[in-house]
Amino acid sequence: MGEPEDAGAGTVATDLPGTGQEPVRTDEPAGEDRPAGGEEDALLVLTAALLTPAQFPGALGDDFPEACGRLRLPPLPHGYGLILGQDGAGARWTVVVDDVSLVAVAIASWDCGMEYELTPAPRAIVATLPGWPLALAVAAPGVPAPHDPDLSGDPEAPEILRPPSVSGWGPTQRRLGADEISRQWSTWRAEFTEGEESGAEEGAAEGGERTGKGTTAGGRTEPVAEEGAGTEGGERAADGDGDGDGVTSAIPENAGAFVAPGSEPTAASVRAALAEARAYLDAPPPPGRIRSAFASEEARLLRVDGPGWSLVARTDDMAFVLLDAVPGEVMPVERGPRLPALLAGLDALAARS
């Protein structure tokens, strides 16, 4: 939701700080010859992203105000469009515009493999910021390699934007992982289902009985429920017949991308994340903590974030949880009796796209 598209064409006429030149508008796509009088002021568009309560790159924050804060922008309700590109000298720049619809159309066109020249009107430009807030693996042809602009001669120049660090596991990686699951839901869901089926076959071969989705008897997996919920002793039936949200503590070993919480403290962290998500129903969080996108005619895809956790779910299916405290792991939450109501309640509060 809201990730940038690494494709684009067009130019943006803007008075770039430190160039000392008046802006010169050009309409040629990136890579074509441009008038010499405005080479450095014409931004060659590489990609674009939305920054709205309903759609923003997860790398920027848990919610819309936090994401805006990384770019030193006020969290206006209508949001912004971000245009990332290079000037004629190859320097990285981010142009912020208030014409969200224009940027949305460009991204949709690129998604469909169509050409679209993204050239906003000068009056739509809110800010021109040095650097990029997101990592890009593309560069404009015909200009030097991407680099930070030299603003040493401008004492009032803003701080250069740089992508969040992705070294080691942390909030940025956790949100990026959740974004990937939301973009590839069908693939991840199918992989989980395949892992369940393989686990059932292995369990039968070992003499263990199937006790429910994703679990087998004989010590392979144990279900985890919210504290105080479920069957006698605080456990939840593995097939979703208890009162819990359906957190499973393990995935069949050959599922690959999915791994078990593996310990009661980790399972408790998953329960705590679900409890925090449920608390949003009574005290709505900042805009963008809950986002809802189209999944099908009868379902929505939810992205929910909180301190140290991210949740991805379909309102007609299950959920996946990622935790800062459990590096690189994706933990499934099967569809128990309470999960549908939780997802419906979150969807009712969500910023929708």
Which residue type sits at 20?
G
Nearest to 160, CA basis, from 92, 96, 68, 97: 92
For the chain, how far is it from start to end, CA to CA, in angstroms? 9
Report whether 136 contacts 47 (CB < 8 A).
yes
Nearest to 332, CA basis, from 344, 347, 317: 317
pLDDT of residue 166: 79
Q: Where does 180-289 show beta strands of DSSP type E?
A: 210-212, 215-216
Question: pLDDT tier at 42 (50, 70, 90 boundaries)?
Answer: confident
Whether 295 shows a pLDDT value over 70: the answer reads yes
Most confident of 4-13, 240-249, 340-349: 340-349
pLDDT of residue 95: 96
Name residues whose C-beta falls within 8 Å of residue 347's C-beta, 6 or more positions apart in sequence.
290, 292, 300, 302, 315
Instruction: Give the H or E element holding residue 116.
Output: none
Digit-coded pLDDT (tens) for 77-116: 999 999 999 999 999 999 999 999 999 999 999 999 999 9
Please state the rounded mean pLDDT for residues 131-148: 93
Q: Which residue has the higher pLDDT, 106 or 231?
A: 106
Q: How far apart are CA 166 and CA 322, in angstroms?
A: 16
Pairing of strands 290-296, 351-352: parallel
DSSP 8-state code for residue 258: -
For residue 275, the number of C-alpha atoms closer than 13 Å in the C-beta half-sphere is: 11
pLDDT of residue 167: 82
With tokens 């430009």, the residue in question is 125
- The mean predicted confidence, pLDDT, of the chain is 77
